[in-house]
Structure 1
Amino acid sequence: MTKPDIASLRVYNQHLNHDKFKKPEDVVGYMCAMQAQEYTHAKWAIGLRMLSPADKMVEKAITTGTILRTHVLRPTWHFVLPQDIRWMLSLTAPRINAGNAAMYKKQEVTDAIFNKSFDVFTKALQGGKQLTRTEIAAALNQANIATDDFRLTILLMKAELEQLICSGARQGKQFTYALLDERAPVTPAISRDEAVTRLVLRYFKSHGPATVNDFVHWSGLTVADAKTGIEINKTLLSNITIGGVMYWMGADRDFGAAKKSGAYLLPVYDELIIAYKNRDAMIPAGFRDKMGAITFFPTIMVNNQVVGNWSRNMGKKNIDIELKPFNKLNKAQNQSIESAIQRFKKFNGIG
């Protein structure tokens, strides 16, 4: 087995080219968490894994709270399900807070200020209210809590990590916050070991083949956590070794089922790229000097290999797609990419 075979299995296990999901929440539930700070791109990441995707369908799931958006891994924005958000935050928040400690100190945000801000959030949002950042900042300022510089972001993130607030429905193009208790059911608490076991299993089943270091990169947890979770899940996982590196995946996966054909317009920070510390399996050797462009910009993938970047100019009645291949594309590649372009346009209600 070669590294391109690893890429084929990842595409297969992430359901990009087979057995696609019917509902947005089914995608997020299977993937466990999906990076989502670039909002419109993150919606398309869900759409790529759906049978008949539509932006309006994904937006509705987020509006109604079927999918939530919060800081939960590393930390950055992720889509998660309401039934997963509490146990995941209980697992990851302590490490995120420890990593943020210097930032809290630099911005002079003390525990007393945090607690006071939490009271403001609770009072302002209770009763099903959903407020924008501007409205929340006004409520904090009225309580004599400064929100200049980076402080508002810190206060909001800390409240997310403490399971007080999460995403609400958008107001126009503005994001809102709501009380978590009013958006997600209270679920039974589980032990840390059980949470690690759950996260490890779901990551390797949906993202595998992947390494221990890939999991650590994706989750923000430790190597020890990864090894503990693998050991507990050893009957549910299988492994392969390539070039002295061990890769883990679900034990029930069919190695012969992965397909190598097809093209995808991957959004920026798609899980197929961002969820791995080492991305060489998806990137031909000649393009690895372009890692920055691949990591931080939307990418074109053909036959499970990255071949360039792309961008889009969104109009009301049309979408202009600009392809930026790293090398000249052949006729078959262009035809495959054209199908991917049409799928993206259809997702956005055009064509």
Structure 2
Amino acid sequence: MNASEILRLRLHNSGLTDSPFKSAADAVSHLGAVQAQDFAAAKWALGLRIKNSTDEDIEKAFNEGKILRTHVMRPTWHFVMPEDIRWMLELTAPRVKALLAHYNRKLELDDAFFARSNVAITRALQDHTYLTRQELKTILANIGIETDVQRLAHIIMWAELDGLICSGPRRGKQFTYALLEERVEKAKKLNRERALAKLALNYFTSHGPAQLKDFSWWSGLTVKDARCALDLIKSKLEQATLDGKTYWFPTHTEVTTPKSPSAFLLSIYDEYTIAYKDREDISETRDIERMISMGNALTAVIILNGRVAGTWNRALKKSTVEIRLNPFRKLNEDEQEALESEVARYGKFMELPAVLI
């Protein structure tokens, strides 16, 4: 296995190469979890993997609860499947809580406080009541719990991590919260060993070739727990070593090199770019880490033949979507054509003419 094959397999296994899925639920189920703090970008990440899908299709699946959005694995939002949300929270929430402990102390939030806020939030959401963050802020204020932006975020996140609430349908452009027990049907519980195995197999099947440290980072598990999870399922995977690094991946048929350049317009938070601790395979480390550290200031990357080759940004207008490409180097004719095809694809997803500026 060489570096180019790693990238071809990742593009294929993550569903980018052929857009093999029929629905948002199919795509999320395959990937296990999809980072989704940037909601618009996360919808596009799913849309890239579903043939002929639109932004409206993904929005509809979200509003109907076919996919959910919650804090799980790491202290950020992810799309997850309803049938997976409970066991994933049970497995990964303790680590997320441990990471938040220092900030909670600074915000004067403790277990007794969360017990009180959880009761208030749960009561407010009963009987399929869907409330926005600001409405929950008012509910809390009515019982003497004052919040600012940061405190409110931690209070609501804690209720998510406790498995009490999850995403409800959007109200216009506003997000709402729902009681998890009302939003999600009961599912069979997984013991810890089965949960570890399921999460690991999901990750390496959809993100491989990947290293143990990549899985540990993505899942939020300790390296010890990640290694235990990998040990449970390694008989179902293949492995290869390149430059002293061991990669694990599913048994695969040969993925051929495309005749024309493979090009994608991705979010910086797409699973292809974000789901690895070691990102040297797709970019010079300093470039990709700088982009991620910039957060919302830089949210989109050009991928050519599996590697980061520039950035792009969009501007939604009344009747068009304007897209600007910022490649790191001069593109050849085939690369330019491939990217222009992706610009048109984005416009089709948004159901607006895409204009390259």
Counterpart mapping for 1:120-269 below 5 A: 120-250=120-250, 252-257=251-256, 259=258, 261-269=261-269
User: Which residue of structure 2 aligns with residue 301 of structure 1?
Assistant: 303
Greater Cα shift, 30-39 or 102-111:
102-111
User: Which residue of structure 2 aligns with residue 115 of structure 1?
Assistant: 115
Distance in 2 between residues matched to 1:37 and 1:163, nearest whole Å: 19
Residues 183, 210 of structure 1: CA spacing in aligned structure 2 closer, same or farther, 3 A cutoff? same
Q: CA deviation at 1:116?
A: 1.1
Counterpart mapping for 1:255-334 below 5 A: 255-257=254-256, 259=258, 261-283=261-283, 287-295=284-292, 296=295, 297-334=299-336
> Match of 1:116, SS?
helix
TM-score normalised to structure 1 length:
0.96
Residues 289, 224 of structure 1: CA spacing in aligned structure 2 closer, same or farther, 3 A cutoff? closer
Distance in 2 between residues matched to 1:313 and 1:38, nearest whole Å: 15
User: Which residue of structure 1 aligns with residue 15 of structure 2?
Assistant: 15
The residue identity in structure 1 corresponding to 2:326 is K
Native 8 Å contact 1:3 1:280 kept in 2: no
Residues 268, 316 of structure 1: CA spacing in aligned structure 2 closer, same or farther, 3 A cutoff? farther
User: Which residue of structure 1 aligns with residue 66 of structure 2?
Assistant: 66
Distance in 1 between residues matched to 2:234 and 2:122, nearest whole Å: 43
Distance in 2 between residues matched to 1:182 and 1:268, nearest whole Å: 33
User: Which residue of structure 1 aligns with residue 340 of structure 2?
Assistant: 338
Q: CA deviation at 1:290?
A: 2.0
User: Which residue of structure 2 aligns with residue 101 of structure 1?
Assistant: 101
Deviations 1:230-280 (A, max 9, x none): 221122111011011100011x31244565742110013000010011112
Distance in 1 between residues matched to 2:150 and 2:337, nearest whole Å: 46
> Match of 2:235, SS?
coil
Q: CA deviation at 1:80?
A: 0.3
Native 8 Å contact 1:36 1:78 kept in 2: yes
> Match of 2:238, SS?
strand
> Match of 2:234, SS?
coil
Residues 90, 258 of structure 1: CA spacing in aligned structure 2 closer, same or farther, 3 A cutoff? farther
Native 8 Å contact 1:197 1:232 kept in 2: yes
Deviations 1:4-30 (A, max 9, x none): 221111001011112511111100000
Distance in 1 between residues matched to 2:86 and 2:113, nearest whole Å: 23
Q: CA deviation at 1:110?
A: 2.0
The residue identity in structure 1 corresponding to 2:311 is N
Q: Tell me if 1:87 matches 2:84.
A: no
The residue identity in structure 2 corresponding to 1:85 is I
Residues 169, 258 of structure 1: CA spacing in aligned structure 2 closer, same or farther, 3 A cutoff? farther
> Match of 1:282, SS?
coil
The residue identity in structure 2 corresponding to 1:304 is G
> Match of 1:57, SS?
helix
Distance in 2 between residues matched to 1:323 and 1:329, nearest whole Å: 11
Native 8 Å contact 1:70 1:167 kept in 2: yes
- Structure 2: unaligned runs, 5 residues or longer: none
> Match of 1:240, SS?
strand
Residues 183, 342 of structure 1: CA spacing in aligned structure 2 closer, same or farther, 3 A cutoff? same
What is the root-mean-square deviation of aligned Cα atoms in Å? Answer: 1.4
Deviations 1:74-97 (A, max 9, x none): 121000010000000000011111
Native 8 Å contact 1:17 1:259 kept in 2: no
Q: CA deviation at 1:130?
A: 0.5
Native 8 Å contact 1:230 1:237 kept in 2: no
Distance in 2 between residues matched to 1:259 and 1:227, nearest whole Å: 35
Native 8 Å contact 2:204 2:248 kept in 1: yes
Deviations 1:208-246 (A, max 9, x none): 000001011111101122221222112211101101110
Distance in 2 between residues matched to 1:331 and 1:80, nearest whole Å: 39
Native 8 Å contact 2:8 2:255 kept in 1: no
Q: CA deviation at 1:122?
A: 1.4
Q: How many pairs does the alignment contain?
A: 347
Residues 33, 258 of structure 1: CA spacing in aligned structure 2 closer, same or farther, 3 A cutoff? farther
